[in-house]
Amino acid sequence: MFIGYFTERPYQDEASGFFGATGKPIMDLTVSNGIYDAHLAADLYNRFLDEKIYAEEMGFDGLMLNEHHSTPFCMGGAMNVEASILARITKRAKIVLLGNILPLWDDPLWLVEQLAMIDVISRGRLVSGWVRGTGRESVAHNIEPHHNWERFQEAHDFIIKAWTEPGPFRWEGKHYHYRHVNPWVMPYQKPHPPIWLPGVISRDSLVWAAEKRIPYIMLATEMEPTRQAFQIYHDTAAEQGYQSGPQNLGYLWKVHVDETEELAEATGRKYIQGPSNPFLAGNEGTVNPALVNLPGLTSRRRVLPTQAVATANRGGGGGVAGVLGRPYEKQIEDYTIICGTPKTVIPKIRHVLEYLRPGSIFFWDGDGAMTHDDAMRSLRLMGEEVIPAVREIAKDLELPGPFEVDPATGETVTEDSNGTSSA
């Protein structure tokens, strides 16, 4: 099993007694950056990098970064900059980008070069994820939403070719045109860094990932719709003539571990406080109706039936059913938030793994109004007790990760010193 760590890196203001930009729910794209404090942000960026370093020390296999724009709930507006820093200051953990918003890139050749440099500097530790982005990103970067899916697919195909075929060559597509493609930086990993696709309920994205044999990572969704999505992947794989398994699937959800049940309860409630993150249920009033279903961004006929009532878009191009507006108690009840001491958390994690059978998992922690101390306590306990127990559970349940079993072939993987995987 592959075990990763994630936080949105929210913009917090603990010292003044409130968190986020205003101390109240923030509707998406409505708060001015005139209140931005660069000194506070400097402290926060360095705090989150310190937590990533400690997560590696505590035994996490991957350090996950994501990207959102023009919003205080995620400071990762230039995720590749953070990844570049981690490439140099960490030693072992994979740097998992979930992910670059491909439709925003008018020049994907620049992305080819950035990601290859990260892979080379880290000596082959990059996992490169793509996302389609939300209505927020389309508006903030002036990208026509009805071209989102086309630009995503073409950019993917172009990047793969630029990474794997010697140049120079010419590219003439619908959305991208190059006279001369010959990047003078190529990935450390061969044939290229692993590509994963994170998302939620978009059937198109699930099917596309399965057809490409790309692992799909579900983001903070309820368990039954998540299992349905995984079955769509498995069914598509069978139609394509291969058998998918845990190595093809991943799940991100909120897990916090603490020293006592009382402290875990108090800290866990901070998930729904702080900068108003529309993906942390309980922050009511954060969703901007104008951004929910931009024309052409998402087809309502192509989402999972049980989630069609969703009201917001996420990285995979679909809605986030069951995430927005759900109280903390409900999330505790359905395991989309797990809080407690190691003794109580580990059996709950096992329940999730038994039900969903993912080969990759990401613990979403240190978010909302959680402080640095909150995050570090949880990371320490995860390293000391939770991660070793989860590895044993994964062995017992036979849940191999994508670096143990090749997602494309189902064969056992070995990795040489050059970062080249082979069966």
What CATH number corresponds to the domain at position 248? 3.20.20.30
Task: Say whether pLDDT at 166 is over 80.
Answer: yes
Task: Say whether pLDDT at 121 is over 60.
Answer: yes
Give backbone dihedrals phi and psi of 332, rounded to 5 degrees, phi first. -65, -40
Q: Does 30 or 33 have the greater pLDDT score?
A: 33
Task: Say whether pLDDT at 133 is over 80.
Answer: no
Task: Say whether pLDDT at 108 is over 60.
Answer: yes
pLDDT of res. 381:
98
Q: Which of 2-6, 147-151, 371-375, 411-415 has the lowest mean pLDDT?
A: 411-415
Place of tokens 């990935």: 187
Distance CA 324, CA 335 (A): 15
Q: What is the DSSP letter of 412?
A: B
Q: What is the DSSP letter of 147?
A: G
pLDDT of res. 45:
97
N-to-C CA span, the chain? 17
Q: Per the structure block, which two tokens stand in for 347?
A: 């059996």
pLDDT digits (tens, 9 = 90+) for 259-269: 999 999 999 99
Which residues have a Cβ under 8 Å from the Cβ of 227 and sit 6 or more positions away?
355, 356
3 forms beta bridges with 361
60 CA to centre of own chain: 15
Q: Which domain holds residue 157?
A: 2-422
Task: Say whether pLDDT at 132 is over 90.
Answer: no
Distance CA 77, CA 114 (A): 15
Of 272, 259, 273, nearest in space to 220 by CA: 272
* Mean pLDDT of the 59-63 span: 98
The answer to whether 279 touches 364, Cβ cutoff 8 Å, is no
Task: Say whether pLDDT at 307 is over 70.
Answer: no
pLDDT digits (tens, 9 = 90+) for 249-293: 999 999 999 999 999 999 999 988 877 566 555 555 566 666 666
Distance CA 187, CA 189 (A): 5
pLDDT digits (tens, 9 = 90+) for 2-25: 999 999 999 887 665 444 444 455
pLDDT of res. 68:
87
Distances (CA, A) of 409 to 68, 93, 213, 241, 247: 33, 24, 9, 10, 10
pLDDT of res. 69:
84
pLDDT of res. 137:
73
Counting the structural domains of the chain, the total is 1
Q: Does 149 or 326 have the greater pLDDT score?
A: 149
Percent of the chain with pLDDT over 70: 82
pLDDT of res. 146:
75
Q: Per the structure block, which two tokens stand in for 339?
A: 């809080």
**pTM of the complete model:** 0.90
Would you list the DSSP string of 172-234? E-SS-EEEEE--S---SSSS---EEEEESSBHHHHHHHHHHT--EEEES--HHHHHHHHHHHH
Q: Which of 4-8, 24-28, 144-148 has the lowest mean pLDDT?
A: 24-28
Q: Does 312 or 91 have the greater pLDDT score?
A: 91
The answer to whether 196 touches 216, Cβ cutoff 8 Å, is yes
Question: Which H/E stretch holds residue 5?
Answer: strand 2-6
